[in-house]
Amino acid sequence: MPDAAAHLPFFYGSISRAEAEEHLKLAGMADGLFLLRQCLRSLGGYVLSLVYDLQFHHYPIERQLNGTYAIAGGKPHCGPAELCEFYSKDADGLPCALRKPCNRPSGMEPQPGVFDSLRETMVRDYVRQTWKLEGDALEQAIISQAPQVEKLIATTAHERMPWYHSSISREEAERKLYSGSQHDGKFLLRPRKEQGSYALSLIYGKTVYHYLINQDKSGKYCIPEGTKFDTLWQLVEYLKLKADGLIYCLKEICPNANASTAAVVAAPTLPVHPSMPRRNDTLNSDGYTPEPARLTKSQGEKSRVLPMDTSVYESPYSDPEELKEKKLFLKRENLIIDEVELGSGNFGCVRKGVYKMRKKQIDVAIKVLKSANEKAEKEEMMKEAQIMHQLDNPYIVRIIGVCKAEALMLVMEMAIAGPLNKFLSAKKEEVPVSNVVELLHQVSMGMKYLEEKNFVHRDLAARNVLLVNQHYAKISDFGLSKALAADDSYYTARSAGKWPLKWYAPECINYRKFSSRSDVWSYGVTMWEAFTYGQKPYKKMKGPEVIKFIEDGNRMDCPSECPPDMYALMRDCWIYKWEDRPGFSDVEQRIRTYYYSLASKAEGVEDAPQAAKATSA
Ligand code: ADP
Ligand code: MG
């Protein structure tokens, strides 16, 4: 995930104060000359280095709990760029306004921090080991949840560092430091028996010193009286640059025995799940406390259920034992049908139920065909089942099977939180725009999968996106879907039917031609529905009026809550000629980039006024 300041030409990444001053000197020391660098102490923080009156001034920019950024005592801003822009207009407490950016010399990239370079490998290993995923399920989890997972990992990153010795005593630490070279500044870090506390062991003048590291109430780490850090690896990186009260600064790593492989294989010590006991309840037999990320929620972050934490991320048949029994037709005796109705339509209704598998019981949604229905309807439901049977993706509602009994029934995974449009209109206050973007990104991933498999959905709309929970969406309702022949890029309907015209691209209406590109058009309408929190598209217009509206070159306006980047994407989904419209692989990439940029900035940036309140409180 890119740093929120990565695009700024005056951002230097992870450089020290001395290096910053060197750059400013070279650039001439004019009043108001400034640069931005990564803060080595706080996760996601920065330092603004400014010249005034031939002096250097360094201002830490802290990332606040609500995700905004502020110089201590200053106003909060939604990102580092916005903050610098503010101070370029108004000194607001600084000795002078930011006048001249000290840009990086050409060809120089921002210096990556320790965590930056380990990030990708760590995310991959973490997802693989925590949720036991492989293959496509692993890739999809990484793409869709990278921002959330990165936050979790940042707090356990030290476990992958060669200087971290996960379970050694004070005596062993001394033995290790005294063996081999005894250079000043050779160090290691180890957990202590007392929960949540660590020791930094350092050699200087052939003597080993041990420093206690405690965690304060908000989860920050510090050597008593010393600087506070969000993470242990930041503490170490900082003390490498500056002794900060230690007898000497950290120079040479005393490596952990499995250091060479540690970065790749070291696993989070416990499987991580939000419902697990808090870390104070867990103590290993050898007396040291493992520290899985989710359990050390610092800063009052609410833990959130990720798609991979739910039972519907992978198919129930991903278990080989269950796969043995997989058949399209299910036995009636294994199915319990509840009275509860989840929804209804012309075909009949959708009921809640439970399906008994070999090893487990799963919640299901059962589409029950009205008994009086004719052959044609049964065939239609069977077609829908055949399509769904060929699909397996975390962002698509899976079919469990079909049951022929008192009625024909299509048994599906349950998406209990219901249709996206209804959910958003009911929970507008609780769902920030970043959350809407996250859900739409998941829909784009499901659609990209369909496009790759050469299926057209033909009924993509917010009503057919079902939610498992507030952060997990699945595409459903394959009643109109078609599998395209291998070398076809579109399907031509023989005649027009009962069609959702407001979601259809011009070529669907004019030529009955349906392709992934016409699904992209529908995706644009779905985006519009989502950013309006479930309003009906094209207001009260009737189908033929909408057609004329589009043919005349009009498009729906930008919803008031919709970010400009997302409206631009929507407009591209509504490019008249299908050949000129982006495909889902482009759409997914664009929304992903935007979604990551939001996550690296702040959670809920769009709630800036609210955020400001929280900071001053
Ligand atoms: P229709 O073809 O009538 O639109 P849908 O497949 O969209 O049928 O289902 C109708 C309604 O039933 C949905 O809007 C939703 O409320 C409910 N429903 C359908 N499938 C599920 C599911 N897998 N989990 C939960 N609810 C579902
Ligand atoms: Mg539907």
What's the 3-state SS for 188-210?
A: EEEECCCCCCEEEEEEECCEEEE
Residue 222 burial (C-beta neighbours within 10 Å; 0-12, 13-18, 19+): middle
List C-alpha distances in Å: 561 to 255, 380, 436, 437, 532. Answer: 51, 39, 10, 11, 7
Task: State how far the Cα of 479 lies from the Cα of 360, in Å rounded to an integer.
Answer: 29
Tell me what pLDDT residue 1 has.
Answer: 62
Q: Which pTM does this prediction carry? A: 0.75
Q: Give the 3-state secondary structure of residue 124.
A: helix
Among protein residues, the one with the nearest Cα to ligand 1's atom 15 is 343
Phi and psi at 579, nearest 5°, equal -65, -25
N-terminal to C-terminal alpha carbon distance within the chain: 31
Query: Cα angle vertex 493, ends 488, 496, to 5°?
Result: 155
Looking at the CA of 345, name the nearest ligand: 1
Among protein residues, the one with the nearest Cα to ligand 1's atom 25 is 415
List C-alpha distances in Å: 203 to 164, 188, 464. Answer: 16, 9, 63
Q: Is 349 annotated as a binding residue?
A: yes
Residues 412 and 400: beta-carbon distance below 8 Å = yes
**Which atom of ligand 1 lies nearest, measured to the CA of 347?**
3
List C-alpha distances in Å: 232 to 213, 238, 403. Answer: 9, 10, 55
The 3-state secondary structure of 80-110 reads: HHHHHHHHHHCCCCCCCCCCEECCCCCCCCC
Task: State how far the Cα of 71 lies from the Cα of 42, in Å rounded to an integer.
Answer: 13
477 CA from centroid of ligand 2 (Å)? 5
Task: State how far the Cα of 388 lies from the Cα of 368, in Å rounded to an integer.
Answer: 16
Task: State how far the Cα of 83 lies from the Cα of 77, in Å rounded to an integer.
Answer: 5
Tell me what pLDDT residue 41 has.
Answer: 78
Tell me what pLDDT residue 300 has.
Answer: 36
- Answer whether 159-264 and 418-603 agree in fold: no
Tell me what pLDDT residue 601 has.
Answer: 58
From the CB of 343, is ligand 1 less than 6 Å away?
Answer: yes
Residues 523 and 573: beta-carbon distance below 8 Å = yes
Sheet containing 252-253: give its strands across: 221-222, 207-215, 198-204, 186-191, 252-253
Walking along the chain (617 residues) 10 residues at a time, the average pLDDT comes out as 85 94 97 95 87 97 81 91 96 96 94 77 88 95 92 82 93 96 96 92 97 89 88 88 91 82 35 28 27 33 82 95 92 96 89 96 95 82 97 98 95 98 97 97 98 98 98 97 94 93 98 98 98 97 96 98 96 98 97 86 37 26
Task: State how far the Cα of 457 lies from the Cα of 479, in Å rounded to an integer.
Answer: 8
From the CB of 599, is ligand 1 less than 6 Å away?
Answer: no
State both tokens at 444.
């784009």
Q: What is the CA radius of gyration of the chain?
A: 28
Q: Give the 3-state secondary structure of residue 71.
A: strand
Taking the CB of residue 550, how many other CB atoms lie within 10 A of it? 21
438 CA from centroid of ligand 2 (Å)? 22
461 CA from centroid of ligand 1 (Å)? 12
Tell me what pLDDT residue 98 has.
Answer: 98
Taking the mean position of all CA atoms in its chain, how far away is CA 290?
A: 25
Nearest 10 degrees: Cα torsion 577, 580, 584, 586: -160
* CATH classification code of 116-154: 1.10.930.10
**Which atom of ligand 1 lies nearest, measured to the CA of 463?**
14
The 3-state secondary structure of 536-601 reads: CCCCCCCHHHHHHHHHCCCCCCCCCCCCHHHHHHHHHHCCCCHHHCCCHHHHHHHHHHHHHHHHHH
Contacts of 239 (CB under 8 A, 6+ apart): 200, 246, 249, 250
Q: Is 214 annotated as a binding residue?
A: no
CATH H-level, domain 418-603: superfamily: Transferase(Phosphotransferase) domain 1 (1.10.510.10)
342, 346, 398: residue to mutate for ligand 1 pocket, most atoms within 8 A of CB: 342
Residues 352 and 360: beta-carbon distance below 8 Å = no
Task: State how far the Cα of 485 lies from the Cα of 390, in Å rounded to an integer.
Answer: 14
477 CA from centroid of ligand 1 (Å)? 7
Is 125 part of the annotated catalytic residue set?
no
Catalytic residue among 309, 459, 477, 607: 459
Residues 398 and 415: beta-carbon distance below 8 Å = no
Sorted by where each begins, the domain ranges of the chain are 17-101, 116-154, 159-264, 323-413, 418-603
CATH H-level, domain 159-264: superfamily: SH2 domain (3.30.505.10)
Among protein residues, the one with the nearest Cα to ligand 1's atom 12 is 343
**Where is 126: in which H helix or E strand?**
helix 114-131
**Residue in 485, 465, 456 with CA at minimum distance from that of residue 417:** 465
Task: State how far the Cα of 609 lies from the Cα of 69, in Å rounded to an integer.
Answer: 13
State both tokens at 223.
């050597």
351 CA from centroid of ligand 1 (Å)? 9
Task: State how far the Cα of 134 lies from the Cα of 235, in Å rounded to an integer.
Answer: 34
State both tokens at 349.
């209704």
Task: State how far the Cα of 49 lies from the Cα of 89, in Å rounded to an integer.
Answer: 17
Tell me what pLDDT residue 138 has.
Answer: 96
Residues 348 and 367: beta-carbon distance below 8 Å = yes
Q: Is 342 annotated as a binding residue?
A: yes
Q: Is 102 annotated as a binding residue?
A: no
Among protein residues, the one with the nearest Cα to ligand 1's atom 3 is 345
346, 423, 477: residue to mutate for ligand 1 pocket, most atoms within 8 A of CB: 477
From the CB of 156, is ligand 1 less than 6 Å away?
Answer: no
**Which atom of ligand 1 lies nearest, measured to the CA of 478?**
6
Q: Is 284 annotated as a binding residue?
A: no
Tell me what pLDDT residue 299 has.
Answer: 35
Q: Which CATH architecture has domain 17-101?
A: 2-Layer Sandwich (3.30)
Nearest 10 degrees: Cα torsion 18, 23, 28, 30: -70
389 CA from centroid of ligand 2 (Å)? 18
* CATH classification code of 323-413: 3.30.200.20
Taking the CB of residue 225, how many other CB atoms lie within 10 A of it? 7
Buried-exposed string 156-173: b where 16+ CB fall within 10 A, e elsewhere: bbbbbbbbbbbebbeeeb
Tell me what pLDDT residue 303 has.
Answer: 67
